[in-house]
């Protein structure tokens, strides 16, 4: 008995020493970043408290029989603790309503993120919006990924870690999946109706799948805890979701930041997608035509401009499961940190079994696609011009909202865009006066075209009202409007310094043919609003009809020979010099074209000096009381003063630091 006890004591001492050496060596090299004070441990959270899991994805449509439908069903069947949030612009369709009714509050639709004019969602907007949902674990994945139950087990294990973490896992491409959900939506069944157990399902998937490592830009899963904290240091660029680069960028930044323990769980999470799926509902992941290549190139440009993606290489520790236990293994030498075994004591035989399991495990891992920093990225070329954009953005009445901007006004342009998006006015166009604005607008997902005849070598910082720059730039507006009218589209011209409270399109379209409706620049409440040169050419509506086109041709011709801006040319041409064509107090009638100029009610369309609205303590409340449609931020000199006034009065919709709408 004494001898047996002595042997046990010596074995215990030997194992303790071995573990201390192993922990010291492995923990320092791999799992003890500089931000950690000591060995990695498990938290004291109650094992019984299952974490709340929220899965975020973006979807274009939800059709019965689509692989996205198959994937989302698999997520919701995993656990009652799983909630799914679908980001989509089309939340009112019948397919969404019928599908969400089946799952109640566990399936949520959200359209409050930023999308490009083609409907591609912005990743940085998705992640920012995800913080609004209360959850223990947030997950981001492609809607076509099908999950098996070990996904929840892996997340439950990660949830016990005592620090913030980021789990990444790639999904495998299988050629076919011969199973379907039963009517209850809880079990997979074969065509003959036989229920398929999880173990059998894993074996079948393993036999169908290719065990090659998957690219970090393929269909990937990201999961993280502490959803209120960022995944990485710094600001996430405006990547387009599922357009390449962003997965690799986030992993690289998270590793460099060292705020989170980043690990690869590809070997422990069973997930797949059908590589030859015929009915794909997720338009963000299908093979795109050449007209969409610019989205991938744009993401590549952002990846090179921001962050440390190309500065160094890295490998991720892997989460494996051996002998019914999870453990983290070095991706380099396959050594294991035994301290990660949930705080349990590890016997000699158990350690040997684990080592044998690791050595024979044919584990998959995430493939990191390294790109040299000096590797040339193709030029960002937008495949659209004015003529091809018009049918894409115009509403059913063939009407577009046009704005024209230079680079110094890019933030005000984006605030204007964000406001129109909030009002659900998608039919807008942007004319860029310089290449910088053009490139910026492309990366912001705007329907933009470049005016090759815009004035060159001008300083937009000094392009305020009355300046020579202002006089030259404003004439671009009338020329562009005329071009669009001749292409058969109606135009609402709106300067970017006009704040929209309500959508004015229904009211403006109620004016009949041969009527040009324009804002009045008159501020005096005791005089007619159509006084000489009080037509504001920063906001007007023109129909694409013969008389209006002829009238606009007269305006453009007059402005071309004028030493002033285009604004006096509008009034002198359409209302006559000195107001000789005036009719009553709010109209003019141009005799040659028989076009009527209707000056808009200043209570509904106030200029910047009318009623001292900008001086009110609560501008928004005053304008809403008047039922204003828009408010012009004019009658103030200088770009910076405009910006300050609009921001200070709470009429600002864009966060320039995050590059997203607020």
- Average pLDDT per run of 10 along the chain, which is 662 residues long? 45 37 32 36 56 92 67 89 91 66 83 93 95 94 90 95 94 79 72 78 65 60 90 92 92 92 92 64 42 86 81 80 83 55 58 68 60 63 93 97 94 98 96 92 95 67 58 82 98 98 97 97 96 96 98 95 88 97 98 98 98 96 97 93 96 94 91
Torsion angle defined by CA atoms of residues 187, 191, 194 and 195, in that order, rounded to the nearest 10 degrees: -20
Cα four-point dihedral sign 342, 347, 353, 356? positive
Q: Computed from CA positions of residues 445, 447, 450, 455, in that sequence, does the dihedral angle turn out positive or negative?
A: negative
Confidence at residue 82, expressed as pLDDT on a 0 to 100 scale: 95
Burial class of residue 584 in the structure, from the number of CB atoms within 10 Å of its CB (0-12 exposed, 13-18 middle, 19+ buried)? exposed
Model pTM score? 0.84
Tokens representing residue 333 in the block: 């030498």
> What are the Cα distances from residue 176, in Å, to 62, 136, 180, 207, 275?
21, 34, 12, 11, 8
Partner residues linked to 519 by β-bridges: 536
Give the three-class secondary structure for 612: helix
Q: In sequence order, which ranges of 117-183 are alpha helices (DSSP H)?
A: 123-130, 150-159
pLDDT at 231: 92
Task: Convert 426-486 into a string of H (helix), E (strand) and C (coil).
Answer: CCEEEEECCHHHHHHHHHCCCCEEECCCCCCCCCHHHCCCCCHHHHHHHHHHHHHHHHHHH
Q: Which two tokens stand for residue 348?
A: 């000699």
What is the structure's pLDDT at 192? 78
Tokens, residue 622: 């005053």
Site of tokens 């223990």: 136
Query: Residue 34 and residue 41: Cα distance in Å, rounded?
Result: 15
- The CB density around residue 616, as the number of other CB atoms within 10 Å, is 14
Structure tokens at 228: 């209120």
**DSSP code, position 517:** E
Instruction: Provide the pLDDT for residue 321.
Output: 86
- pLDDT at position 104: 78
The number of angstroms, rounded, from the C-alpha of 544 to the middle of its chain's C-alpha atoms is: 34
87, 57 Cβ separation under 8 angstroms: yes
Cα separation, 660 vs 278, whole angstroms: 35
Interhelix angle for 410-422 vs 435-443, to 10°?
Answer: 40
Residue 282's pLDDT is 39
Burial 176-185 (b: 16+ CB within 10 A, else e): ebebeeeeee
Q: E strands within 312-441? A: 318-322, 325-329, 366-367, 399-405, 428-432
Question: In DSSP terms, which residues pair with 15 in a beta bridge?
Answer: none
Q: What is the β-pairing status of strands 107-110 and 399-405? A: unpaired
Rounded Cα gap, residues 282 and 67, in angstroms: 9
**Residue 567 token pair:** 């604004």
**Cα dihedral 407, 409, 410, 411 sign:** positive
pLDDT for residue 322: 81
Q: Computed from CA positions of residues 57, 283, 91, 102, in that sequence, does the dihedral angle turn out positive or negative?
A: negative
Element (H or E) spanning 540, and its range? strand 535-542
Q: How many residues does the chain have?
A: 662
């Amino acid at each position: 008995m004494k001898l047996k006890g002595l042997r046990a004591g010596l074995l215990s001492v030997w194992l303790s020493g071995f573990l201390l050496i192993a922990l010291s060596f492995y923990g320092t090299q791999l799992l003890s970043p500089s931000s950690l004070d000591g060995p990695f441990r498990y938290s004291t959270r109650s094992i019984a408290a299952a974490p709340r899991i929220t899965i975020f994805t973006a979807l274009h449509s939800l059709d019965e029989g689509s692989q996205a439908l198959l994937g989302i069903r698999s997520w919701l069947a995993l656990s009652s603790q799983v909630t799914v949030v679908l980001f989509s612009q089309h939340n009112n369709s019948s397919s969404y309503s019928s599908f969400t009714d089946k799952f109640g509050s566990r399936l949520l639709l959200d359209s409050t993120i930023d999308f490009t004019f083609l409907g591609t969602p912005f990743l940085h907007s998705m992640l920012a919006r995800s913080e609004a949902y209360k959850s223990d674990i947030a997950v981001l994945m492609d809607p076509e990924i099908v999950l098996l139950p070990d996904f929840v087990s892996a997340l439950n294990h990660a949830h016990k870690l005592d620090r913030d973490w980021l789990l990444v896992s790639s999904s495998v491409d299988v050629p076919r999946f011969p199973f379907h959900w039963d009517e209850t939506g809880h079990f997979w069944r074969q065509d003959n109706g036989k229920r398929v157990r999880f173990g059998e399902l894993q074996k079948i998937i393993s036999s169908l799948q290719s065990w090659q490592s998957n690219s970090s830009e393929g269909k990937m899963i990201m999961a993280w805890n502490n959803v209120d904290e960022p995944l990485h240091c710094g600001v996430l660029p405006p990547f387009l979701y599922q357009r390449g680069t962003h997965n690799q960028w986030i992993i690289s930044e998270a590793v460099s930041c060292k705020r989170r323990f980043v690990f690869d769980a590809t070997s422990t999470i069973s997930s797949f997608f059908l590589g030859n799926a015929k009915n794909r509902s997720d338009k963000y992941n299908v093979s795109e035509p050449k007209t969409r290549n610019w989205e991938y190139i744009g993401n590549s440009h952002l990846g090179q401009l921001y962050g440390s993606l190309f500065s160094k290489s890295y490998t991720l520790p892997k989460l494996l499961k051996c002998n019914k236990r999870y453990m983290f293994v070095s991706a380099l030498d396959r050594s294991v940190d035994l301290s990660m075994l949930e705080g349990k004591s590890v016997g000699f035989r158990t350690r040997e079994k684990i080592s044998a399991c690791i050595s024979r495990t044919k584990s998959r891992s995430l493939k990191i696609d390294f790109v040299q920093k000096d590797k040339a990225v193709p030029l960002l070329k937008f495949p659209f011009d004015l003529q091809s954009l018009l049918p894409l953005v115009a509403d059913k009445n063939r009407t577009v909202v046009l704005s024209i901007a230079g680079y110094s006004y890019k933030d005000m342009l984006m605030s204007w865009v964000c406001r129109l998006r909030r009002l659900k006015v998608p039919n807008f166009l942007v004319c860029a006066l310089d290449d910088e604005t053009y490139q910026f607008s492309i990366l912001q997902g705007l329907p933009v075209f470049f005016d090759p005849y815009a004035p060159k070598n001008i300083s937009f910082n000094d392009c305020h009202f009355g300046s020579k720059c202002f006089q030259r730039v404003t004439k671009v507006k009338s020329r562009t409007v005329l071009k669009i009218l001749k292409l058969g589209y109606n135009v609402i011209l709106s300067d970017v310094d006009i704040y929209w409270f309500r959508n004015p399109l229904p009211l403006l379209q109620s004016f009949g043919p041969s009527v040009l409706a324009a804002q009045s620049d008159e501020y005096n409440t005791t005089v007619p609003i159509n006084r000489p040169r009080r037509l504001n050419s920063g906001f007007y509506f023109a129909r694409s009809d013969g008389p209006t086109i002829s009238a606009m041709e007269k305006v453009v011709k007059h402005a071309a020979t004028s030493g002033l801006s285009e604004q006096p040319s509008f009034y002198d041409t359409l209302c006559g010099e000195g107001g000789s064509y005036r009719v009553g107090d709010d109209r003019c009638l141009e005799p040659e074209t028989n076009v009527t100029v209707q000056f808009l009610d200043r209570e509904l369309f106030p200029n910047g000096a009318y009623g001292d609205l900008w001086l009110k303590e609560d501008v928004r409340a005053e304008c809403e009381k008047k039922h204003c449609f828009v408010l012009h931020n004019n009658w103030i000199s200088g770009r910076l003063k405009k910006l300050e006034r609009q921001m200070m009065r709470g009429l600002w919709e864009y966060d320039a630091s995050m590059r997203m709408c607020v």
